[in-house]
Amino acid sequence: MTNDATTKVTKWLSEPLPADVSQALDRLAQTDDVYHVAVMPDVHLAGEVCNGTAIATRELIYPQAVGSDIGCGMLAVACDLPAHILANELTAARVLAGLYQNKQPGGRVPEQLPDELMRHDLSSPSLERLKARDGLYQLGSLGRGNHFVEFQSDLQGRLWLMLHSGSRAMGQAITDHHLLQAERSVSELSFLESSRSSGQAYLSDLNWAIEYAMQNRLAMARAVESVLRTLFATEFDWTSLIHSHHNHVQREVHFGQELWVHRKGALPAAESEPGVIPGSMGSRSYHVTGRGLPESLQSSSHGAGRAMARQAARQSISRRDLQQQMRAVWFNQRQADSLRDEAPAAYKDISRVMRAQRDLTRIVRELKPLLVYKGS
């Protein structure tokens, strides 16, 4: 199958694209069966396909345009506590200590996975074995990198939880397994045909991984709630829950036809669809609803996006730099050296990103960070 020469690329940018990102996007647009590419303002280089992209195909599935952290996404929920409760250093330290004591892995592994995950078999015995081992052991665990638990204040002074994580080892294993079955396109990206058994097997396993990622975030949120219950005798207001994922592929109707929409670091933004767009761990975040713009494949950015690759950030940002950038946010100071590549300066300016996508989302709520917990 050859690529349609009329492939359309639409972009919402907060700054000029680096040459390597432009080259990666050009390659994506020239890939077999790619009908439309939408580029978000948080776009940055990440493996074979940039984060911050949404692409539509007619028949072919590209696992690399989803990424290995299938179902990675955001959860936000309000707490019936005033945000100023975390203004006190001793209280913040108690909350951080409670989060570390409740983290997974490291004890309290559930006896079995939730029913939503047990009733669905994965496509190979090796994946089923991993599901029973790593899948069980890692449920309710955060992971490293840009995954986090954060307490925030909205402009009315209410306390909110924001949580970012994905499908852990399961998403990576599922992606690796199916890439072995894939064929190469003219641009060297690997594809599966959606109508064949190999493509159907990937889609089935992908949907399982999306559910795993959602159950993982919910398990962590319940663990955080238990910390708040112990410390403050309070619980979350679950009616306020916002829960979505930004690494997936699914069948959708756009431009009057059914297409496979791949989102890799792109938030679904259909008309009135709720979502969460985080900044860095030292900058503001936003609750939004989508505007449903067709040219964006009804998508928006999933965050601020990296301004520096991790290695470059580690080379240019010192421990002291990180501590200065995080001076208004509680975090584990013992992690300061290892978190330099997650410093606010390693990310784009979230306010510029939000301005660049005014026609993609409506801002519902603005939040500032108070306390951040990162995996180790």
pTM: 0.95
Query: What digits encode the pLDDT tens for the residues 165-206?
Result: 999 999 999 999 999 999 998 888 999 999 999 999 999 999
Q: What pLDDT is attached to residue 145? A: 86
Q: What pLDDT is attached to residue 1? A: 33
Q: What pLDDT is attached to residue 310? A: 94
Alpha helices in 102-149 (DSSP H): 115-118, 125-130, 136-138
Count of residues in the chain: 376
Catalytically active residues are 302
107 CB contacts (<8 Å, ≥6 apart)? none
**Inside any domain, residue 315:** no
189 CB contacts (<8 Å, ≥6 apart)? 27, 28, 31, 48, 49, 62, 64, 65
Calculate the dihedral angle through the C-alpha atoms of 118, 119, 120, 121, rounding to the nearest 10 degrees: 70
**Inside any domain, residue 338:** no
Q: What pLDDT is attached to residue 250? A: 98
Q: What pLDDT is attached to residue 108? A: 60
Q: What total number of domains does the chain contain?
A: 1
For residue 276 the two structure tokens come to 């969460």
The residue range of the domain holding 248 is: 8-307+347-374
Please state, in angstroms and rounded to a whole number, the distance separating the CA atoms of residues 374 and 376: 7
Alpha helices in the chain (DSSP H): 19-29, 89-101, 115-118, 125-130, 136-138, 168-179, 197-232, 310-316, 319-325, 350-356
**Inside any domain, residue 326:** no
Query: What digits encode the pLDDT tens for the residues 137-162?
Result: 999 999 888 899 999 999 999 999 99
Q: How far is CA 216 from CA 80, 96, 141, 205, 365, in A?
A: 23, 20, 7, 16, 25
**Inside any domain, residue 223:** yes
**Inside any domain, residue 341:** no
Q: In what order do the strands lie in the sheet with 247-254?
A: 8-11, 34-44, 51-57, 257-264, 247-254
Q: What pLDDT is attached to residue 3? A: 38
> Running along the chain, 376 residues long, what does each successive block of 10 average in pLDDT?
60 96 94 97 95 98 98 97 96 94 58 91 97 94 92 98 97 98 91 98 98 97 95 96 98 97 98 97 97 98 96 96 96 94 97 98 98 86
Residue 87 CB coordination number (10 Å): 12
Residue 134 CB coordination number (10 Å): 16
Please state, in angstroms and rounded to a whole number, the distance separating the CA atoms of residues 311 and 300: 27
**Inside any domain, residue 334:** no
How big is the chain by its Cα radius of gyration, in Å?
20
* φ, ψ dihedrals at 262, nearest 5°: -100, 125
Cα–Cα nearest to 49, from 189, 167, 151, 185: 189
Q: What pLDDT is attached to residue 375? A: 77
CATH of residue 279? 3.90.1860.10
Q: What pLDDT is attached to residue 109? A: 62
Q: What pLDDT is attached to residue 187? A: 84
β-strand partners of 266: 301
**Inside any domain, residue 222:** yes
Q: What pLDDT is attached to residue 103? A: 59
Q: How far is CA 244 from CA 74, 76, 183, 328, in A?
A: 6, 9, 30, 28
HSE of 183, CA atoms in CB hemisphere, 13 A: 13
Q: How far is CA 362 from CA 37, 80, 293, 295, 354, in A?
A: 22, 25, 12, 17, 9
Cβ atoms of 261 and 255 within 8 Å: the answer is: no
**Inside any domain, residue 269:** yes
Q: Position 129: which residue type?
A: R
Cβ atoms of 71 and 213 within 8 Å: the answer is: yes
Cα–Cα nearest to 223, from 335, 311, 309, 140: 140
